[in-house]
Amino acid sequence: MLPGERLSGPVLRYLSDGLPAGMYPPDPADPALRTVRVTAEGT
């Protein structure tokens, strides 16, 4: 994930499928990706 990237279904599937395959996303707030921290745009 990059700052500003939208969390679409395909992006979430990529992340959830990647973890069991050994992918390690850098600096996640939740390393298991059970939760995702987001910021609302335009508020």
pLDDT tens for the chain, 43 residues: list them.
Answer: 777 788 889 988 888 898 889 988 878 888 888 888 877 777 6
User: pTM to 2 decimals?
Assistant: 0.59
Residue 16 to residue 11: CA distance in whole angstroms = 9
How much is the pLDDT for 43? 62
